[in-house]
Structure 1
């Protein structure tokens, strides 16, 4: 099993996200982080590079969760696969 760690600030609109225990996707594939909001398309927050933490900026209080998908190298404009994991953000002041 893998895990995701998030330290988020709703007032700052930022989060530091770590992904651990997940093998690098095979071939020319990457793990991509998305912010999910009700009634809106997922928005990319960036690509993970191994175990390096990803600093996600531009979050707003309508964000309800973060999701990680496996995407083609370089990432995608919208998710092309189901999330390998999804984390609800309500407990840290988002999704209000």
Structure 2
């Protein structure tokens, strides 16, 4: 869910403001393989679970702190949380 973005300035500008994003909800819709981040200012980001996004360590930690909302506990949800924890740990090394 995290990788560096080199695709154009507009996309880089979008991802560069993550330190200011205030997450309201983080949800997983396993049936369609989509995670949704909803922010205080009304922005909603739909992310495919199997794709990697340039999310900062700080934003990933805030996602974990908020908690993932799921319809039911599943291996997909647990794998996603494990993956995010791994990304945070790799950033710290």
- For the aligned pair, the TM-score class normalised by the smaller chain equals 0.3 to 0.5
Give the structure with the larger strand fraction. Answer: 1
Q: Which has the higher contact order (CA 8 A, sep 6+)?
A: 2
Give the structure with the larger helix fraction. Answer: 2
